[in-house]
Amino acid sequence: MLPGLVGEDRAAPMREGADEVGFTPFYEPDRGRYGINRDLVVPELFDELRALVGSIVERELTLGPVQWLRFRHRDYSLTKTAREVAGPHVEVTVDFSARTTEQAEIVYTDGVESWIVPQLAGSVAIVEREPWLYRYERYLDHRIGDGAVYRARVVLL
């Protein structure tokens, strides 16, 4: 996890851009509830991530599916949520929220052990996603108020 990689000077326009394009409500009770956008394209961000993550995992990567996500009060995602890619890949989560909360943690689990990625505004989390590794994002309770957690989830192959 790389904290402080996306400054507010960059995150704020990202939020504005994402809000402007809009999020489609997703609600399948046994899978999740959140806002999602698959259409927003920010080539310079994707290129930077590909280069950065490629240097960390020491291999060439290509861009896969991208999801822009917004979580608000009562939102969550569960392990039953469909995978974007079936096989192994690198999953990068860019948190461009306005503030850090103690909610919406990303939990990766193999069914026995869990690895938790805290919600940290401006952070980038990089995870080698194997088929046995499931993911969920914790429910956001009333303490979030009118706030929101913004994430770009980028698959690199």
Partner 1 sequence: MIADRDVDALAAQYRAATPFPHVVIDDVVAPDTLAALCQAVAQEPHWPNRGEIYDFMGSAETVSHPVLRAFHATLGAPTTLDAVRAITGQPVARCDLRSYVYVAGSYLLPHADSRASIGRLVAYAYYLHTGGCEGGELELFDCTMDGDQLIAAKPAQRIVPRDNRIVMFDVSNASLHQVCEVLAGARVSLTGWFFGA
Among 37, 127, 139, 147, binds partner 1 (CB under 8 A): 139
Give the interface segment with partner 1, choosing from 26-34, 63-71, 85-93, 147-155 (CB under 8 A).
26-34
141 near partner 1 (CB under 8 A): yes
In the complex with partner 1, the residue whose CB is nearer, 56 or 116, is: 116
Query: Which span sits near partner 1 by CB under 8 A: 39-47, 63-71, 88-96, 138-146?
Result: 138-146
Q: What is the C-alpha separation between 110 and 32, in angstroms, rounded?
A: 19
**Is 136 a residue that touches partner 1 (CB under 8 A)?**
yes
The answer to whether 38 and 65 are in contact (CB under 8 A) is: yes
**Three-class secondary structure of residue 47 per DSSP:** helix
Is residue 143 a contact residue for partner 1 (CB under 8 A)?
A: yes
- The tally of CA atoms less than 13 A away on the side-chain side of residue 121 is 17
Q: Which of 37, 67, 79, 100 binds partner 1 (CB under 8 A)?
A: 79
**Is 82 one of the binding residues for partner 1 (CB under 8 A)?**
no
Least distance (Å) from partner 1 to the CB of residue 76? 6
CA within 13 Å, CB half, 14? 27
- Tell me the three state secondary structure of residue 4: coil
What distance in Å separates the CA atoms of residue 129 and residue 23, rounded to the nearest whole number? 25
DSSP H or E run through 57: helix 43-57
Interface contacts to partner 1, rule CB under 8 A? 28-30, 74, 76, 78-79, 107, 109, 136, 139, 141-143
